[in-house]
Amino acid sequence: MMTALGPHASFIVVAYIATVIVILALTIWIARDYAVQRHTLSDLESRGIKRRSQREDKI
Amino acid sequence: MALIDLANPTRFLALANRVLPWLAAVTAIVFAYGLYRVAYAPDDYQQGATVKIMFLHVPSAWLAMMGWGLMTVAALGTLVWRHPLADVAVKAAAPIGAAFTFICLVTGSLWGRPMWGTYWVWDARLTSVLVLFLLYLGMLALYWTADDPNRAARAAAILALVGAVNIPIIKFSVDWWNTLHQPASVVRMDGPAIDSSILVPLLVMAVAFTLLFFTLHIAAMRNEILRRRIRSMRMMQAANA
């Protein structure tokens, strides 16, 4: 059965909120970074710019 | 596919794209189950409900050390085999390890205030974990300020190896010195000192946090590989301009 958080409830609640904030911030930062990298990569590819390994494939 | 085949950025990207959705789903399910077990875990007979902070503090402390351990192994890959994915792994792990170390410090402080009567004390365990956090920040600063990625990789690998000395200090600090922090209560020679009603939720949360670490690490490695491809393409563009 779920127990009450007792006289130190505020410390417990703040600990959980702080953890959620840090994990959410990290997850959003990594997800946004992925979106930025994908967008930049597709932009470069649409302008016909290729990596060295892609150029060598055509030779 | 052999394990060594994955040490190729293109193959790693293909695998990461396939694995990440499943890994994220499993992480969410284990977290949901872990939080359910935490909600119904009994209070500690001495610490009362504040023991619920342990379900965040202990897994994040383990991951803070595991993150640096992972970086140390990857650093050997950079220095010995000069493999590009090894440096990608080090760079991707640094912010994640720093975040878990920060969670460990904050939750430890919030647990310490009602139990010890203070948020902070300069004892060996707390100080060595703070040093680990500063090492993570140093690693991030090194990557963010370096102009040459190759030199940054070598310097980061050396920092990872030097910083690894701190990991056994953290682990054994409670045995070597007289500290306010309690001694190990899970990983002990004579078995865990925690009742199974609290130990099981703790282990489930540890698995959930570990899955989260690897999900974020693989995602961050994918980002870093793409970033290096973009850099390579821009250099090719500049060379041909």
Q: Residue A37 falls within a domain, yes or no?
A: yes
Q: What is the pLDDT of residues B109-152, one digit of tens each?
A: 999 999 999 999 999 999 999 999 999 999 999 999 988 888 89
CA atoms within 13 A on the CB side of B206: 16
Assigned domain for B2 exists: no
**Residue B205: both structure tokens together:** 């949360």
Backbone angles phi, psi at B48, to 5 degrees: 65, -140
In a domain, B183, yes or no: no
Question: In total, how many domains does chain B have?
Answer: 1
Residue A32 has pLDDT above 60, yes or no: yes
User: What is the number of domains present in chain A?
Assistant: 1
Predicted pLDDT at A53: 67
The pLDDT assigned to B2 comes to: 58
Single-letter amino acid code for the residue at A46:
S
Report the pLDDT value the prediction gives residue B5, as an integer from 0 to 100: 61
Q: What is the mean pLDDT of residues B156-184?
A: 89
**Domain presence at residue B198:** yes
Residue B5 lies in a domain: no
Contacts of B232 in chain A (CB under 8 A): 51-52
Q: What ipTM, to 2 d.p.? A: 0.90
B85: domain range?
21-174+193-240
The CA distance from A46 to the nearest CA of chain B, in Å, is 12
Q: Tell me the average pLDDT across A22-42.
A: 97
Nearest to B60 by CA among A39, A19, A25: A19
Residue B16 lies inside a defined structural domain of this protein: no
Instruction: Select from A25, A30, A41 the Cβ nearest to the Cβ of B230.
Output: A41
In a domain? residue B113:
yes
Task: Examine the pLDDT at B156 and tell me if it is beyond 60.
Answer: yes
Mean confidence (pLDDT) of chain B: 91
Looking at per-residue pLDDT, the higher value among B34 and B194 belongs to: B34
Q: Which chain A residue is nearest to residue B240, measuring alpha carbons?
A: A49
Instruction: Please report residues of B whose CB lies closer than 8 A to that of A30.
Output: 216, 219-220, 223
Calculate mean pLDDT across residues A38-48.
Answer: 91
Query: What's the token pair of residue B11?
Result: 């193959």
Give B159's contacts (C-beta < 8 A, 6+ positions apart). B135, B138, B139, B142
Say whether pLDDT at B77 is over 60: yes
- Structure token digits, residue B204: 């489930």
- What pLDDT sits at residue A42? 93
pLDDT tens digits, one per residue of B40-60: 998 888 888 999 999 999 999
Q: For residue A47, give the chain B residue with the closest CA.
A: B237
DSSP assignment of B143-189 equals: HHH-S-HHHHHHHHHHHHHHHTTHHHHHHHHHHHS--SS---SSS-T
Q: Is residue B221 assigned to a domain?
A: yes
Smallest CA–CA separation between B189 and chain A, in Å?
A: 30
Is there a domain that residue B11 lies in?
no
Could you tell me the two tokens for B74?
């990857």
**pLDDT higher than threshold 60 for residue A1:** no
pTM: 0.91
pLDDT digits (tens, 9 = 90+) for B3-52: 566 678 889 999 999 999 999 999 999 999 999 999 999 888 888 899 99
The tokens of B89 are what? 């792994």
Cα B167 to chain centroid, rounded: 12
